[in-house]
Structure 1
Amino acid sequence: MTSQVDEKILDELIKKSQTADLDSLSSTDISHVVQAFTFPHASIIRSKAYVLLSAISQNVRGVEGARTNDNATEKLVKLFGPPIIDSLTETNDASLRLGICTLHALFQVHWETAAAIISQDGIVENIMEGTDLSQSAQLYEDIAHLLGQASGHKRCRGTIPSQAVRWLEAKALQTSNSVLRAAAAVALVKYSRGVATDASEATTGVGEIDDAGQEARLTEMMKGLVVSEEKRDSLGDAVEGLAYLSTRPETKETLSLDSTFLRQLFSLIPHKKPSTTSTDRTAESALVYGVLAIISNICAYRPRLSEEQAQLEKLKKVAQATKSNLPTGDHSQLESDEQVRLRVRRLVDAGVLNAIGSALTTGDSVAVRLQIGKAVFNIVEDKENRGKVLQSGGARTLFTLIKHALASLTSKDQILDSAYLEAIQALAKLAITSSPVQVFGPDIGAVFDAIRPFSIMLQHPSSTLLQKFEANMALTNLSSYQPEVAERIAKADGLLSRVDLLMLEDHVLVRRSAVELICNLIAGSDEVFERYGGAPNSPNAKSKLQILVALADVDDLSTALAASGALATLTCSPYACQALAQLQRERNRVLPVLTQLIDPSVVVFPSEDDVSDDRTTHENPGLVHRGIVCVRNLLNGIDDTGTRKSLEKDAESVGLVKALVRLIKGEGLTKEQMILVPAAEALQVMVKDGVKV
């Protein structure tokens, strides 16, 4: 394996890998690929070797895709295993580096193949023997990087001997080679965290870092590498190590308190997309991803657990503490919501928002986009930050990555990856607390485009109740912007049917937000107005009106206001009035509920069996106004004299007439003229029909 590699050879192999059967690749061809990975990082040779390795891997997976990934791995092992293993059986630095660097590249392109090779008997031992026979700094760095890659996979961690762990510990303590030091430290952290994850609890296996002081020292060392202007070659490892370490509350706090470090960390994200080789772009994207991972970790709130989940988590902590004789209290107050808010504000003050905006331009990968969504989601959790996010173009950043995700859906039935829900939820939070113009700009087309992601989040099978609530709220805000927007929302695929169901949800906030959205859509969309009884022969209109009547009588004031507001709008239609009159005749519930809205002190329900435990007892001018408008519209909307007189008879029996009289006499809840006028109009209709007041 001493032949030279040049661009022309690799170019020919790239074409060959894309058009020919892989069986036609000779051992010489594979040796060219293997040799290329020992070239300097920025070399065009190394860059094209990655392209070639990726093409071969994709070709194999495409051919073997009809079967299993194991078939693809087996074929790739047959291609690359022999030259790699042959190299690792040698004792000279050049041969060892050939095998080690190729394994490192394979971990990044098809980790299963690399894992299968490195897990073979004697491979890691042969690699570690090289550390006894050589003093090459480059070889040491390659070995540390390879062990770091292997430590990231459970299948490989069991093959890493204690000798390798001790070697990493020693190299992480030396100070003469910062690149080696950072690479060894990253490998140790990944190994330690991996072992702990494998055991599903804090264990003390060989080489595991369970000493908070040791992690603190590693954190300070990697911070120093980031801040240093001289040790640029170790940046990637330092950032990767901090991405792992920053999952600990103490590390999050330490990093957030160092404004110099934060500004230097954010500066690692370039403001322009690099025009360099693909290898450099890959390295740059990995660096951007690492910075974003650190940001996301520092800003992360504790998961919002349901009552059942919280109880299970408590029991789990008790069980773990019992096994390890540890106290059962919270791990750290540093994870409280208030402390996280303080950390987030420190990052915002240090310029994190501009860095996040640049990341979308420079790191064009799914992983980077997901980290951006996660970071912004955590930042906008605090309402105080939302204005700054909008000023920095954060809404545009979210919108861009969401549109990119939606564009990847190839069919109507394909479900969006749930990992993008956080980005949509972050955009929803901005849309809830700000006007559509502030969030999406003056172009109404952008507002139209926002409907689909909010609708998807509302209907997604993985959406939480909070995400459903915030999707409803965002759509409610959009629906009040312009009638054209409300019409577009009404036409969103499957949306109205899902909102109808959410109006019956037990969770008060979700139910409320659904009713408020329907109220706005009834007012702004002809389609929804007709759907809820505003047109003749509307399917299921009566049952929908019955639900609104029931919701106008619940104990949650906001829900009652929205439902009664929807009824007030719908009763402008004689068709809705006729349906409500039928409901009153069949269920005898419409007028008692309207009376309850106007004056709870006089209402008489025909049967206590019909009274919900969740009935409203509010004395609210808004409910009075809505109730009065409904009564006035209902009486004016019924042309049939017999039907109207039947309603008026019921109105007397349930106390509605008395409530109207009390209101006009100034004995009701309000004396506002805009309410008294329709009350007087309703009474005039009844007096004209012979009702005595």
Structure 2
Amino acid sequence: MADPSKQLDPSVPAVGEAKRPEDVTLEDQTLLLLAGLMEGGQEDEDTCKELNNLTKLLNDDSSDETRSPKLHKPLYELIDADSIDTILGYLDMRQPPTVRGHATLTISAYLKAAGDQGVELLTEFFNTRVGKATYDDFIIAFSVAASLFPVVPDVIATLFLREGFIVSLGPLMKRKWKSKKVEQAALEMLNAACMQAQCREAIKKYCTEWLDEIITDVPPTPVEVSSPERRHVVEDGSIQQRIHSEQVRNLAAVVLAKLQAVPSAPSAGQEERIQPVTTSIEELSDMFKTMLSKNNTEQSSIEGLAYASLQPKVRESLAADNSFLKTIIKALGDAPAKSPATYGALSILLNLTTYMPTLSEEQKRLGQLKAYANASKSSKPDPLNDDEHVTKRCLAVFEAGVIPILVTHSQHGSTASLMLVVSIIFSLSKTSRIRGQMAQQGAIKLLLHAYSIFPSDDIPARRTAAHALARILISTNPVHVFGGSNPIPMTNAVRPLLLLLDDDPATEQRDLLPVFESLLALTNLASTDDTARNPIIHLGFPRIEELLLSNNKMVTRATVELICNLMQAPTGVAKFADGSKQASHRMHILLALTDSEDFETRRAAGGAMASLTEWDTAVNAILERDRGVTLLLALCKEEQEELRHRGVVCILNVMTAPGKVGEWGVKKVKDEGGVDALKECLKKSRSQEVLEITVEALKKLIGEAKPGPALLEG
């Protein structure tokens, strides 16, 4: 019998026994996954799962935070040329989109981990496949280039631009090769390559004629062939028969649209070598519209229109076509969240609605100088980009029903697409007459949601959302917006609006329009109750106080109007009447603004003083100022009834303050010529309310005797 002490450790597997899961190393897991992928023949779902697992292993192993502490060989070193060949094969355009998507993520993780070694294997793969020049090799090579261009653009651009490649591509597709699949793969590669300027210029230079030919060379009648042969022609797409599939023609049109919509400046002396285009950007746009009307989820048509709509003429044509607008809005509604179709549809709508930036005189002069230095044909902006044309386009997009679709999409889209949504809303909100309808259709809730979703350090996105919110709140009743069966707290709007009062760090030239419109929106909120006023005072008063001294008349006016409404809250009064030096300084500024040259500013400052003087502490602060009462009496002598009304209310409040403050007030008013001022007010006024208050103030000032005719006559 064997000695029990000599028996094997049960934790060590016997010969032929499978390792337990906890004993499988990272190297083993990687090799098993590679073996499964190279063996093939499995369901797409299993392939995606293995690619996903391999991606995770590579990503984890390339990060210090997630790398296993156990000593092991870097996992990317286990992936050799044969393994790369297999994984890249899953990028073949003939593979299902899900498989291609997972393979793209796997290759991306590998290239990130492997660095130069990965680039060398990828380069070797591409050059070898192109060199073999077979049906399958061309399709796979072009598919790989198309899939990886967004992942490693510099690497693929180098392969694309190598000597002789792009030059021979057009002639190869036109004369030698006979398969529409190869042609489609080549077009997908060109479509992706257009993202890079040098590649785009090379395509324009050497492939324009071929692309134009695909679009325009459409047989007038179907080719007469027998059924078996015709099936072969349709499936394999014999280019000898010049039958280009709709998908191929659409792809060629997208590439051509990109070349025309995003022109690249040619080098000196190269202009004449660029192949001519016979299909205009407007014709391409019409082609995309037709295809989209047949199938509103056609991705290439949406992508083509996204580029074509960069041109003013195309924008104007699209916006004038109500049927198209309804189609693209429906396409947006039907597209899956975070899909290319969603991003493309939003890009089209953004192009249709975006206003040109407002330039200062200095910026306009600089633009003219740059245009002159670049020998530009014309430095004049396109008239189709002016505000009048953009406003018409915005109205057309709004009336086509875009807001509800944007509201729905914003709940599920990515941050990038949400920024597009907010930018569209921002443009639409410039038109004041549709702001109420925008609010009714959910735009305010959308903007508040977006503001909360955008990262705190993404100031441009947050400012755009806040500015659109401000515009809509200027023109709507806050009670209607924030009330109802599913109310939004009014305080949610305060922080976004206050953000606009700060300078925009992204711009050199200070733009006061967001500041002004935010102040108007805050004033509207502050007209409701203290639940809105108190957070405005608590969070934003220092910035509001600074704006009282703005050099811009409109900003100062809007600030005083906001303060006038804030004076309805005790916390607002305290800012001017708590006895501190700061409060005294604020009171001095507000009193001075009652003598402003601007009527609306005087009116708002007078209204604020009328509210402040209801508090004895505020009256005391006014009496402590040398010219405090004098300035209030000056209001009583104004030509406008509104200002006289505010003045006499202030004077009566000053004289009727409780205790010694009121007594001091009566004396000050008398000493500063109050009787004459109030007499003048009586003579000028026609309002019964103003007359009654003035008479009451005079009675307080000169005694209980009723003023007789002699008094009224002065």
Q: TM-score, normalised by structure 2?
A: 0.78
Structure 2 residue aligned with 1:403: 452
Equivalent pair of 2:426/2:468 in contact (CA under 8 Å): yes
Equivalent pair of 1:85/1:123 in contact (CA under 8 Å): no
Select 2:322's aligned residue among 236, 259, 262: 259
Paired AA for residue 502 in structure 1: L
Select 1:634's aligned residue among 654, 674, 697: 654
Matched, 1:150 2:193: yes
Q: What SS class does the counterpart of residue 359 from structure 2 fall into?
A: coil
Paired AA for residue 530 in structure 1: A
Counterparts in 2 of 1:268 and 1:641: CA distance versus 1, 3 Å: closer
- Matched ranges for 1:244-323 at <5 A: 244-271=307-334, 274=336, 285-313=339-367, 323=375
Counterparts in 2 of 1:309 and 1:243: CA distance versus 1, 3 Å: same
In 2: Cα distance, 1:99 partner to 1:162 partner: 22
Structure 1 residue aligned with 2:410: 360
Q: What SS class does the counterpart of residue 500 from structure 1 fall into?
A: helix
Counterparts in 2 of 1:312 and 1:621: CA distance versus 1, 3 Å: farther
- Matched ranges for 1:483-502 at <5 A: 483-492=530-539, 495-502=540-547
Counterparts in 2 of 1:144 and 1:210: CA distance versus 1, 3 Å: closer
Structure 2 residue aligned with 1:608: none
Counterparts in 2 of 1:502 and 1:257: CA distance versus 1, 3 Å: same
Structure 1 residue aligned with 2:529: 482
In 2: Cα distance, 1:439 partner to 1:641 partner: 43
In 2: Cα distance, 1:209 partner to 1:187 partner: 15
Paired AA for residue 497 in structure 1: P
Paired AA for residue 416 in structure 2: A
- Matched ranges for 1:131-150 at <5 A: 131=173, 133-150=176-193
The CA deviation at 1:121 is: 4.6
In 2: Cα distance, 1:226 partner to 1:317 partner: 38
Name stretches of at least 5 consecutive residues in structure 1 with no aligned partner: 61-71, 275-280, 410-414, 601-618
- Matched ranges for 1:89-488 at <5 A: 89-125=131-167, 131=173, 133-160=176-203, 162-175=205-218, 176-196=244-264, 207=274, 214-229=280-295, 235-271=298-334, 274=336, 285-313=339-367, 323=375, 331-332=382-383, 334-361=384-411, 364-405=413-454, 408-409=455-456, 415-442=457-484, 445-462=488-505, 464-488=511-535
The CA deviation at 1:661 is: 1.5
CA offsets 1:561-582 (integer angstroms, 9 cap, x no match): 2222112222222222222222
Greater relative contact order (CA < 8 Å, ≥ 6 in sequence):
1
The CA deviation at 1:318 is: 6.3
Paired AA for residue 579 in structure 1: A
CA offsets 1:606-659 (integer angstroms, 9 cap, x no match): xxxxxxxxxxxxx3222112111222223344826995476235412xxx4312
Equivalent pair of 2:523/2:561 in contact (CA under 8 Å): yes
In 1: Cα distance, 2:397 partner to 2:149 partner: 33
CA offsets 1:220-264 (integer angstroms, 9 cap, x no match): 1111111124xx78x222212211221222211211222222222
Structure 1 residue aligned with 2:87: 33
- Matched ranges for 1:584-603 at <5 A: 584=626, 588=627, 590-600=628-638
Equivalent pair of 2:422/2:465 in contact (CA under 8 Å): yes
CA offsets 1:432-488 (integer angstroms, 9 cap, x no match): 111124334435553221212112222252473111111111121112222112112
After superposition, the CA RMSD in angstroms is 3.4
In 1: Cα distance, 2:594 partner to 2:95 partner: 68
CA offsets 1:401-433 (integer angstroms, 9 cap, x no match): 22211xx33xxxxx3330343332222221111
In 2: Cα distance, 1:397 partner to 1:177 partner: 42
CA offsets 1:113-136 (integer angstroms, 9 cap, x no match): 433543455554575575354222
Counterparts in 2 of 1:238 and 1:678: CA distance versus 1, 3 Å: same
In 1: Cα distance, 2:411 partner to 2:151 partner: 23
Identity of aligned residues (%): 25
Counterparts in 2 of 1:629 and 1:311: CA distance versus 1, 3 Å: farther
In 2: Cα distance, 1:210 partner to 1:688 partner: 94
- Matched ranges for 1:644-655 at <5 A: 644=665, 647-648=668-669, 650-652=671-673
In 1: Cα distance, 2:275 partner to 2:352 partner: 23
Structure 1 residue aligned with 2:3: none
Matched, 1:686 2:701: yes
CA offsets 1:518-576 (integer angstroms, 9 cap, x no match): 2212213x33321122x233x41121111112222222222222222112222222222
Paired AA for residue 45 in structure 1: V
In 1: Cα distance, 2:205 partner to 2:51 partner: 39
Equivalent pair of 2:260/2:281 in contact (CA under 8 Å): no
Equivalent pair of 2:526/2:566 in contact (CA under 8 Å): yes
In 2: Cα distance, 1:42 partner to 1:446 partner: 47
Counterparts in 2 of 1:118 and 1:224: CA distance versus 1, 3 Å: same
Equivalent pair of 1:168/1:184 in contact (CA under 8 Å): yes
Counterparts in 2 of 1:647 and 1:338: CA distance versus 1, 3 Å: same
Matched, 1:567 2:609: yes
569-578 or 440-449: which moved more?
440-449
Paired AA for residue 492 in structure 2: D
Name stretches of at least 5 consecutive residues in structure 2 with no aligned partner: 1-36, 62-73, 219-243, 706-710
Counterparts in 2 of 1:554 and 1:447: CA distance versus 1, 3 Å: same
In 2: Cα distance, 1:225 partner to 1:163 partner: 27
Select 2:587's aligned residue among 535, 540, 545: 545
72-81 or 574-583: which moved more?
72-81
In 1: Cα distance, 2:347 partner to 2:182 partner: 29
- Matched ranges for 1:63-78 at <5 A: 77-78=119-120
> How many equivalent residue pairs?
621
Equivalent pair of 1:599/1:659 in contact (CA under 8 Å): yes
In 1: Cα distance, 2:181 partner to 2:450 partner: 39
In 1: Cα distance, 2:38 partner to 2:213 partner: 33
The CA deviation at 1:5 is: 7.3
Equivalent pair of 1:263/1:351 in contact (CA under 8 Å): yes
Equivalent pair of 1:182/1:237 in contact (CA under 8 Å): yes
Paired AA for residue 392 in structure 2: L
